[in-house]
Amino acid sequence: MDQSEEMFKLVREWRKSGLTQSEFCKPHGITVAKFGYWAGKEKLAARLPVEKVGGFVQISGQQSASNDSCQIVYP
């Protein structure tokens, strides 16, 4: 698990705990400033839509008698 995953997990635990950031940070050995930074990043990440990283799109073309040129037609 990388650092961002670990911190996001802690932020979610904190939100469920009902504790203040200060109360939550002490037993976990995290500064309130660092925790506040990650809480902000987690909140932003939760609001951003997840983009699908696409695959390939198949294109079809007409075979030409000559292979000397290529024509691209944009819509």
Of the candidates 34, 33, 13, the one whose C-alpha atom is nearest the C-alpha of residue 24 is 13
24 contacts 32 by C-beta, under 8 angstroms: no
The domain limits of the chain are: 3-47
- The CA-atom distances, in angstroms, between 42 and each of 7, 38, 55, 75 are 8, 6, 28, 40
For the segment 10-20, what is each residue's pLDDT rounded down to a tens digit? 999 999 999 99
pLDDT band at 70 (very low <50, low <70, confident <90, very high): confident
For the segment 34-53, what is each residue's pLDDT rounded down to a tens digit? 999 999 998 888 887 766 66
Cα distance between residue 11 and residue 35, in whole Å: 8
Calculate what percentage of the chain has a pLDDT beyond 90: 48
| pTM confidence score | 0.60
